């Protein structure tokens, strides 16, 4: 796995990093739901009916789950950890609109236990992209953010992979350029040659398009 180490500017990341903002909203929502469910549990117990106790158990389980998510999210959302554990990948601007900038990225979905890489194209719409020009073909180095709700032993591909631009973690243009140079030209060319597939990726339910290994350049088959 290719990693890219740099000093994360936490103040900058808190201001522009949309992954961190999403996780922050998830934590607030989870804690709010947990509080409501705990109150519901207390009310159902107070009713003192057989059916209310059954509902109280269900409410309590839901509250515990929401509380776990709320407490787990800050650990999961440490921006420096996300950058340190993510794989450095290429992304290019495929389209710009009033809703934001659409990035097309090349990622490896294979888990460590897989026989080899399984490359796919994924897209992400971003609202801000500091340090980059919002024009088609702009090269945007990023890292992967992987999520898998199934046990590690189930399947050889990650269920969900998104991207997080290096520019969301630093204001230093030299760091962004170093990350860009750390990615092979063959990967950038593959993305540039397939910019027209971005719309197709956005339409599929899985929000990713697996690439045929036999159609990949030789350098990406191993």
**Measured distance CA(212)–CA(118) in Å, rounded:** 8
Specify the pTM: 0.77
Q: What is the domain extent for residue 47?
A: 11-80
- 202 has pLDDT over 70: yes
Average pLDDT score over residue span 113-126: 86
Average pLDDT score over residue span 107-123: 85
Q: Is residue 94 part of a domain?
A: yes
- 120 has pLDDT over 60: yes
Are 62 and 107 within one domain?
no
- 73 has pLDDT over 80: no
Q: Is residue 49 part of a domain?
A: yes
Q: Is residue 2 part of a domain?
A: no
- 112 has pLDDT over 80: no
Confidence tier at 70 by pLDDT (50, 70, 90): low
Paired tokens of 72: 């787990």
Q: What percent of the chain has pLDDT over 90?
A: 36
- 75 has pLDDT over 80: no
Q: Is residue 40 part of a domain?
A: yes
Q: HSE-up of 120 (CA within 13 Å, CB side)?
A: 23
Q: End of a domain among 80, 110, 140? A: 80
**Measured distance CA(177)–CA(140) in Å, rounded:** 9
Give pLDDT, residue 31: 82
Give pLDDT, residue 34: 82
Give pLDDT, residue 151: 46
User: Are 105 and 87 a contacting pair, CB within 8 Å?
Assistant: no
Are 128 and 198 within one domain?
yes
Give pLDDT, residue 142: 96
**Measured distance CA(167)–CA(177) in Å, rounded:** 10
- 197 has pLDDT over 80: yes
More reliable by pLDDT, 180 or 55: 180
Average pLDDT score over residue span 38-63: 85
Are 114 and 50 within one domain?
no
User: Are 163 and 122 a contacting pair, CB within 8 Å?
Assistant: yes
- 147 has pLDDT over 90: no
Number of structural domains found in the chain = 2
Confidence tier at 93 by pLDDT (50, 70, 90): very high
Q: Is residue 6 part of a domain?
A: no
- 125 has pLDDT over 50: yes
Are 213 and 104 within one domain?
yes
The three-point CA angle 1-88-163 to 5° equals 120
Give pLDDT, residue 219: 82
């Amino acid at each position: 796995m290719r990693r890219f180490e740099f000093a994360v500017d936490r103040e900058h990341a808190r201001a522009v990093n949309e992954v961190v903002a999403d996780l922050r909203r998830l934590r607030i929502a989870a804690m709010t739901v947990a509080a409501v469910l705990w109150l519901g549990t207390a009310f159902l117990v107070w009713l003192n009916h057989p059916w209310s106790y059954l509902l109280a158990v269900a409410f309590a389980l839901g509250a515990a789950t929401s509380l776990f998510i709320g407490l787990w999210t800050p650990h999961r959302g440490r921006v420096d950890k996300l950058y340190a554990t993510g794989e450095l990948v290429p992304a290019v601007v495929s389209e710009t609109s009033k809703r934001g900038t659409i990035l097309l990225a090349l990622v490896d979905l294979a888990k460590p236990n897989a026989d080899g890489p399984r490359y796919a194209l994924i897209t992400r719409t971003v609202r801000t992209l500091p340090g980059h020009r919002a024009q088609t073909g702009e090269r945007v180095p990023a890292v992967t953010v992987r999520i898998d709700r199934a046990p590690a032993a189930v399947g050889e591909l990650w269920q969900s992979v998104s991207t997080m631009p290096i520019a969301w973690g630093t204001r230093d243009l030299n760091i962004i350029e170093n990350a860009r140079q750390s990615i092979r030209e063959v990967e950038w060319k593959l993305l540039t040659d397939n910019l027209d597939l971005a719309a197709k990726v956005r339409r599929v339910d899985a929000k990713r398009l697996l690439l045929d290994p036999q159609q990949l350049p030789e350098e990406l088959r191993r």
